[in-house]
Amino acid sequence: MTTTTLLAAPAPTAGGPHPRRGPRTSVSLVLALAGGLATESAFPARSWWPMAYVGIALLLLALRRDSVRWGFLTGGIFGLAFFLPHLWWANEAVGEPIGWIALSAMEASALGGFGGVWVWVRRTPLVRDRAGLQVVAAAVLWVAVEQLRGRVPFGGFPWGVLAFSQTDAPLLRLASLGGTTLVSAAVVVLGGVLALVALRVRHDGVRAGVVGGVLASAVALGPGLMPLGTAAQSGTLAVGAIQGDVPAQGAEAMSQARAVADNHLSGTRTLLQQVGPGALDLVVWPESASDIDPRTDRELGAAVDAVAQAAGVPILFGTQRFEPPVRYNDYVLWQPGLGGTASYSKQRPVPFGEYIPYRSFFRRLSPAVDLVGTDMVAGAGIALLDVPIVRLGRAVPITTAICFEVAYDQLIRESVVAGGELIVIPTNNASFGLTQESTQQLAMSRFRAVEHGRAVVQISTVGVSAMIGPDGTYLERTGHFTSNQMAQDLPLRTSLTLADRLGRWPAGVVDALAVLLLAAGLLTTPAVRRRGARPSR
């Protein structure tokens, strides 16, 4: 492969002329901007999944200039073009743009870091003249950056991970092998191959790009041939799910907690009339289905117990537990005649959404921080509830990650490994209006279904809710801001996927490789630059 097909401007040679340093600045910026917008279109609401490969290809082409600082700027432009539309729902939730812009800029800076580091690493002798290694190095560095921004700051924010754009694509099946690490890496590899094909076609004609095109097609479509286990392994569970809706759209609906609880009580009665007596094993309500805690409010507790006894099955529901000066986001197991017997408390409260870090400092930037009046604190323990099921004569362990926790790999994995046979994602999307936040979250739930080989129920106060098979297919789905009920017999599964068995290893290997690439850059690049930086006269 000629140097014109490398993902970098050709390196200078000792005593030789200094080569052109990549595309013009204006071209780089246009490519980065187009790449960010293309990549965002691969995610819900559009879900044009091949555009993720196109977007990454455009970014790598934009980064061909041999300048670390320009690489950071180019990656940052790509990041802003991606995150500003991708996180638009943050503006809807807060009601003023400062939070949306700050969050988008912070996430975009991580992609700027990718751009700068990629240019640096690509100068190393091992990578510089090898197109294949350049593609692999780009994938390693990208995934390492994704993992870093999923951890810091404030516990990280793994929204916009490339893997979550592939829930309608054949690549989704790779989730069972290596989770988000493998799927995101595959997307970058495909983008890198497309970039190389584009450069080869430009230099040698269309025929020269055929091999690369075939390779890209094989990587993109081949995983669709992988079989996935979907059969029940420890019985089935007849689950009813209630999307109660709220009296009004927007954040103000949060103050109408009793009316929201009444909606879910009414929806449960409606479902019982539809399915008949004895048809269900379990009823699930969403996060914040009853923000007045039925465990402490006698009137509401009696109403919840009455509908649980009418159903003859346990109910899982979300509520707020206040222990001044803080609160907890609980998902409660309510048994007929016994009340709330167990609960899981959310471990990953959302910074600036459910609690305000460094409140006095951030209040100087915006008074909107005080919309969060009482800070939520993290619970402890695994996201798992053992739910007694009379028909099965045993307790079924159910993974119960709450809302944004669906984005965190390890939290769900540790619950499944601990015995979770079904995954329930209760969420409250009322404050996000008709934005794409709920469908982005639903894509993550579909990804988790395949990653762990489990049926998943995402149940929202206002939608979008769905019941999902272990292969990521929809069994049933609701709309936005509607009152809906769903009922399905879901398979209970106990086997662990390879992704579950490997655990943190794929991510750890990627991190180690990224560190080695950085070390190689630090040890070798300065010498290379000194030998070749002086152009001939």
pLDDT in tens, 245-269: 998 654 444 458 899 999 999 999 9
Question: pTM of the prediction?
Answer: 0.93
What gap in Å lies between CA 452 and CA 405, rounded to an integer? 15
- pLDDT at site 363: 82
pLDDT in tens, 15-41: 444 444 678 889 999 999 999 999 999
> Cβ contacts of residue 30 below 8 Å, gap of 6+?
none
Indicate whether 327 pLDDT > 50. Answer: yes
Top-confidence residue, 461 or 219? 461
The two structure tokens encoding residue 207: 């025929």
The DSSP line for 98-122 is HHHHHHHHHHHHHHHHHHHHHHHHT
What gap in Å lies between CA 455 and CA 424, rounded to an integer? 9
Measured in degrees and rounded to the nearest 5, phi and psi for residue 391 equal -60, -35
Mean pLDDT for the stretch of residues 47-68: 96
pLDDT band of residue 370 (cuts 50, 70, 90) is confident
Indicate whether 534 pLDDT > 80. Answer: no
Neighbours of 91 (CB within 10 A): 20
Q: Is the peptide bond before 247 cis (omega within 30 degrees of 0)?
A: no
From the list 347, 435, 351, 423, the residue with the least C-alpha distance to 387 is 423
Q: Of 40, 107, 146, 346, which is the active-site residue?
A: 346
**Measuring CA to CA, how many Å separate 283 from each of 176, 288, 310?**
28, 15, 12
What gap in Å lies between CA 50 and CA 235, rounded to an integer? 37
Top-confidence residue, 94 or 49? 49
- pLDDT at site 11: 53
Residue 299 annotated as catalytic:
no
Task: State the DSSP code for 197.
Answer: H
pLDDT band of residue 367 (cuts 50, 70, 90) is confident
**Measuring CA to CA, how many Å separate 106 from each of 30, 109, 113?**
21, 5, 11
What gap in Å lies between CA 519 and CA 335, rounded to an integer? 57
Query: Which residue stretches of 41-130 are H helix?
Result: 51-62, 68-86, 89-94, 97-121, 125-128
Indicate whether 353 pLDDT > 90. Answer: no
pLDDT band of residue 358 (cuts 50, 70, 90) is confident
Residue 107 annotated as catalytic:
no
From the list 204, 282, 202, 206, the residue with the least C-alpha distance to 242 is 282
Residue 146 annotated as catalytic:
no
The two structure tokens encoding residue 307: 């509908």
Burial 400-427 (b: 16+ CB within 10 A, else e): bbbbbbbbbbebbbbbbeeebbbbbbbb
Task: State the DSSP code for 355.
Answer: B
Mean pLDDT for the stretch of residues 205-225: 82
Mean pLDDT for the stretch of residues 93-117: 92
64 SS3 class = coil
Q: Of 146, 354, 403, 405, which is the active-site residue?
A: 403
What gap in Å lies between CA 494 and CA 229, rounded to an integer? 11
What gap in Å lies between CA 81 and CA 73, rounded to an integer? 12
Residue type, 307: V
Burial 145-177 (b: 16+ CB within 10 A, else e): bbbebbeeeebbbbbbbbbbbbbbbbbbbbbbb
Mean pLDDT for the stretch of residues 65-86: 96
Rounded to the nearest 5 percent, the helix, strand and coil shares of the chain are 50, 15, 35
Q: What is the chain's Cα-based Rg?
A: 25
Tell how strand 326-335 and strand 474-477 pair up. unpaired
Residue type, 90: A
Indicate whether 528 pLDDT > 60. Answer: no
- pLDDT at site 1: 39
> Which CATH number fits the domain 236-492, given the four candidates 3.60.110.10, 3.40.50.720, 3.40.50.1820, 3.10.300.10?
3.60.110.10
- pLDDT at site 231: 97
Indicate whether 3 pLDDT > 50. Answer: no
Burial 464-473 (b: 16+ CB within 10 A, else e): bbbbbbbbbe
Measured distance between the N- and C-terminal CA atoms of the chain, rounded to whole angstroms:
29
For the chain, which residues make up each domain, given as ranges? 21-228+503-527, 236-492
pLDDT in tens, 279-320: 999 999 999 999 999 999 999 999 999 999 999 999 999 999
**Measuring CA to CA, how many Å separate 153 from each of 110, 147, 254?**
11, 12, 27
Indicate whether 347 pLDDT > 80. Answer: yes
pLDDT in tens, 388-432: 999 999 999 999 999 999 999 999 999 999 999 999 999 999 989
The two structure tokens encoding residue 29: 């910026």
Mean pLDDT for the stretch of residues 175-201: 95
Indicate whether 219 pLDDT > 90. Answer: no
Measured in degrees and rounded to the nearest 5, phi and psi for residue 384 equal -145, 130
Q: Of 40, 287, 421, 437, which is the active-site residue?
A: 287
- pLDDT at site 139: 98
Task: State the DSSP code for 230.
Answer: -
Q: What is the largest CA-CA distance in the chain?
A: 91
- pLDDT at site 16: 45
Neighbours of 317 (CB within 10 A): 28
Percent of the chain with pLDDT over 90: 76
